[in-house]
Structure 1
Amino acid sequence: MASPVHFTVWPAVVVVALDQVSKWLLTRFLQPLETFPVLSGFFNIVHVRNRGMAFGLLNRSDGVQWRMILLIGASLAATIVLVWWLTRLKPSERLMAFALSLVLGGAVGNLVDRLAYGEVIDFLDFYIGSYHWPAFNVADAAITIGTILIGFVFLRGSRRGAQF
């Protein structure tokens, strides 16, 4: 049986690849702030840039360098902690390994953007009427799903929740 670390490599790689390819396609077809309607009244593809973190927190254009250093540092620290955690899992903890892999892939996907562009590209825009959820990307979705799965594992207990 493959160890959790080996099992985990592939989901993280897939998340990073899907995230980066989707962002590359977006930048080829939409200009910044341009919108492409997909489902009227519910979903658009938009091209927005986020210099902050999730849901636009710290997303200001005042050029403060500490924010970028803080966000890159936090992403690197999270990556190190996630890899460390993955190496400590038992082979039976496959659901936790998968969940951590999603978070790892998302963290790396957004870190690539921060290092390459100094900001993160977001493009998924869900809304009802004038109420919009903050735009997000594949990496953000993976982080959210992975975090929910981690919570599920903890709520079920390590013995029952570890099974995949």
Structure 2
Amino acid sequence: MFKNTGWSWLWVSGLVVIADQITKYLASSHLELYVPHKITGFFNLTLMHNEGVAFSILADQSGWQRYFIAVVASLIVIWLLYWLKQNRKHMTLQNVALVMVIGGALGNIWDRIVLGYVVDFIELHYKSYYWPAFNIADSAITLGAVLLIIDAFKNKDESSAG
């Protein structure tokens, strides 16, 4: 029924969620909250709990953001699933982009609902300049967004040729 649609790629979302949850579990089990573990001169593993959205926006709120963010993210996942279902299976780049975003969003939604915060642990920095901590789900969302932009440019001529 869905084998010729973009839904045939949903297994990638499953892999993203599994990798995300395993790495968050390992980080939570082996790292102390807010204590950096230097890996290289620009990369630390540092366990953090993000109660907000990107860059900890809304983290200082009273708790309403937990459910609001989960609902908004869930609505976005539903929209992306609809989009993916409309796609043909051979639309590889766009389908992979969508399932990466879906998997990443689901990983972070799970944290938000179950824990009340998102587990972050990857920390990049240059000297005293630190990029906000992130996780595998965030990486998948970012990669998916970049692939969607590439797909839009790559297929721009094809869509305007008709």
Q: TM-score, normalised by structure 1?
A: 0.89
- Which residue pairs with 1:66 in the alignment? 64
Residues 22-58 of structure 1, C-alpha deviation per residue, up to 9 Å, x if partnerless? 000011111211221100x200000000000112221
Return the letter of the residue paired with 2:104: G
* Match for residue 113 of structure 2 among 115, 122, 147: 115
What count of residue pairs does the alignment treat as equivalent? 157
Matches within 5 A, 1:25-40: 25-39=26-40
Residues 3-22 of structure 1, C-alpha deviation per residue, up to 9 Å, x if partnerless? 24343211101100000000
- Alpha-carbon distance between aligned partners in 2 of 1:131 and 1:4, rounded to the nearest angstrom: 44
Q: Which is further off, 30-39 or 123-132?
A: 30-39
Residues 65-115 of structure 1, C-alpha deviation per residue, up to 9 Å, x if partnerless? 321221011111011011111100023211111000000000000001001
8 Å Cα contact 2:7/2:85 also seen in 1: no
CA gap 1:4/1:95 in 2 versus in 1, 3 angstroms? farther
C-alpha RMSD of matched pairs (Å): 1.6
Matches within 5 A, 1:77-96: 77-96=75-94
Partner SS, residue 39 of structure 2: strand
CA gap 1:6/1:88 in 2 versus in 1, 3 angstroms? closer
Return the letter of the residue paired with 1:24: Y
8 Å Cα contact 1:50/1:59 also seen in 2: yes
- Which residue pairs with 2:19 in the alignment? 18
Partner SS, residue 32 of structure 1: coil
- Alpha-carbon distance between aligned partners in 2 of 1:29 and 1:47, rounded to the nearest angstrom: 9
Deviation at 1:123? 0.4
Percent of aligned positions that are identical: 32
8 Å Cα contact 2:8/2:89 also seen in 1: no
- Which residue pairs with 2:132 in the alignment? 134
Q: Which runs of 4+ in 1 moved over 6 A?
A: none
Residues 126-164 of structure 1, C-alpha deviation per residue, up to 9 Å, x if partnerless? 001000111000000000000010011111225769xxx
- Alpha-carbon distance between aligned partners in 1 of 2:102 and 2:48, rounded to the nearest angstrom: 23
Q: Can you give the 5+ residue segments of structure 2 that lack an aligned partner in the other structure?
A: none
8 Å Cα contact 1:12/1:101 also seen in 2: yes
Q: Can you give the 5+ residue segments of structure 1 that lack an aligned partner in the other structure?
A: none
Partner SS, residue 119 of structure 2: strand
